[in-house]
Each structure stands twice: as C-alpha cells, then as structure tokens.
Amino acid sequence: MRRVRYEHTGGPLFLEDVPVPTAGPGELLVRAEAIGVTLPVVRKVTEAAEPIPLGGEIAGEVVAAGEGVTRFRVGDRVTGLCFGHGYADYALLHEAMATPVPGSASAVDAVALVRSGLVALGALEAARPVHGESALVTAAASGVGHLAVQLARLRGASRVVGAVSAPGKAEFVRGLGADEVITYDSGDWGTPVDYILDAVGGDLLTPAVAALTPGGRLVAYSSGGGSVQAYDLLLGAKSVIGFQMARIARGEPELYERWRQELWRLFTDGALKPALHGEFTLEDAAKAHDAIESRGNLGKVVLSP
C-alpha cells in the first residue's frame, strides 16, 4: 500500500510502498476513503524534533477487525482519530476512537464533521454559552472554525463575529451565518463579545481578551501558544479557559460519545453543514499541508486516496 512519510523536520513529504498493517487487539483495519488534514499535524512536521507518523482523522470501510472488537465488523463504514500512520491507503483505528458513519454521509462529510466538529462543539461547551449572548470565533474559515461559527448560532448566540486572516475569506464566513467578519490586523474588533473561541493563540490573545465584555470568557484551544497579562483579566473580571479534546476523549468517553451523536443529528437534520476546501490525492499531501500552513483554506482540507 502507499503511505506518506517524511524523514526530517520540515519534510519533504513523500510516498512509500509498505505492507498493509495487521489489526491488533481492539483495532480496526480501515480502507481509507478520506483523511482529514489538521493544523497540529502540519505544525509537527515543521516543528517536531523527530519525524512522527502522520495521523489524524480517517474515514472508510472496515476490512479487518482485531481480537476483542465487539462494536464493528467487516464492511462497516467508520470514522475516527488515528494515532499512527493515517496518511495511507489503509490505517489502523482503535475501536474506542471509532464511530459509525450514517448512510446519508460520505466519507468526506465524516472527516470534515466528526473530529473538527468535536473540537468546535467542545470549545463551545467550555465557554458555557447562554442563549442571547454574543460570540467571536477566530480562524473562522478553518476546518474547526467554520463549524464553530454555525454551532455558536445553533446554541443561541444573538450575534456571531468571525475573525479571519484575510479579507478574501469574509464572504465565505458570512455564508456560514456570521453577522460580522473582521481581520486580525484591522485594529478594531468592533463591539465587545461575551465569549471567544480562539484557535490561533500567539500574539492574537491580547486583542482577543480586549474584545471581551466585562465577565467575558475566552476559550483557548490552539496549539499556537501565547500568553495573557493577568491584569487584563483582572480589570474586566475576564477569564481564559483551556480546552483539549484529547482529555475528553480519554477521560470522559460518555460525554465524547454524546457530542458525536449531537453532531450527527445536526448534520442529518441539515442544521450543520461541513464545507470542503478541497480534496487532494496522497501524492499531493504536500499541497494539502501548504493550504493549511498558508491559512488559505476555506473549510476542511481532505486527502482522498
């Protein structure tokens, strides 16, 4: 089978031929139909000290099940998070991380919705939104952000602001239901909001905190780092809340599953609509990474073997 790999920090990415892996205890061997490309994986390629397996969201058909698997069988369509080599024709998915794909959804829908949707929904839950409050979503055109914009509205936000890196993304974000769209460098973030879902971090944290109303909450779920001045929080009784999806997946499986079911329900009802920036082949994995790294994507970036 084909698999994408790299040998040193920064790449380049290349294809190699390797044997199809064998499903171990509790594992599913999945013939990949769609593979989600995420910013954390892109960053690891450029920043990690040692090469890592290119993992992430996958969706496809179960072709083999390891010992002890009880929830799935050969022929089932599943999606989930692969911690090993996911940029490949076949990938291993642990049963606990897998969820069925409804018949009405494609594999691309599944990778665009489930993992990114879980992060968006989890970050929103961490903000503890109250019906009628106002919301701001950074990286609003991204794979997670474009779902967070929709979910904030569905959870009762009276005003949703999308923050993006370039004016050319504004039309796309307004099409998701945002009332306003701002750019990070505009110098004016408009009327303060009650909560912010931040996927960018870094130098953006300072203006983001300033854009909160007194008592406002900023949920930080970015891998971009950054710091906040304590006095800026004290001055307006504001708060910063950290959110990590892995902690929920490992420590609160019932909540994780409940969120997954809510996402599928919203999708099936037509209320939540994942957007696809583009489908790339495995051979074009580097181009898919470039789309993410340049912040040029509008919606989810997907590899389709």
Mean pLDDT of 2-16: 94
In this prediction, residue 11 has a pLDDT band, given cuts at 50, 70 and 90, of confident
pLDDT of residue 223: 74
DSSP element (H, E) containing 245: helix 245-251
C-alpha to C-alpha distance for 220 and 225, rounded to whole angstroms: 9
Helix axis angle, 285-293 to 39-47, nearest 10°: 100
Query: Locate tokens 């199809």: which residue?
Result: 20
Highest mean pLDDT, choosing among 4-13, 97-106, 142-151, 219-228: 142-151
pLDDT of residue 104: 82
Task: Inform me whether the pLDDT recorded for 66 exceeds 80.
Answer: yes
Task: Inform me whether the pLDDT recorded for 112 exceeds 90.
Answer: no
Residue 304, both tokens: 């389709």
The CA distances from residue 270 to 105, 120, 265, 267, 301, in Å, are 11, 17, 9, 5, 21
pLDDT of residue 115: 85
C-alpha to C-alpha distance for 113 and 260, rounded to whole angstroms: 9
Note the pLDDT tens digit of each residue in 117-141. 999 999 999 999 999 999 999 999 9
pLDDT of residue 49: 84
Note the pLDDT tens digit of each residue in 182-238. 999 988 899 999 999 999 999 999 999 999 999 999 999 987 788 899 999 998 999
In this prediction, residue 242 has a pLDDT band, given cuts at 50, 70 and 90, of very high
pLDDT of residue 82: 92
pLDDT of residue 182: 97
Task: Tell me which of 80-84, 133-137, 151-155, 223-227 is least confident.
Answer: 223-227
Mean pLDDT of 17-40: 96
* Cβ count near 87 (within 10 Å): 26
All structural domains of the chain, each given as residue ranges with its CATH number in brackets, are 2-101+275-303 (3.90.180.10), 118-245 (3.40.50.720)
Task: Tell me which of 28-32, 44-48, 64-68 is least confident.
Answer: 44-48
Largest CA distance in the chain: 59
pLDDT of residue 96: 85
| Amino acid identity, position 52 | I
Q: Please state, rounded to an integer, the average pLDDT across all residues of the chain.
A: 94
pLDDT of residue 245: 85
| pLDDT over 90 percentage in the chain | 79
> Strand pairing of 239-242 and 180-183?
unpaired
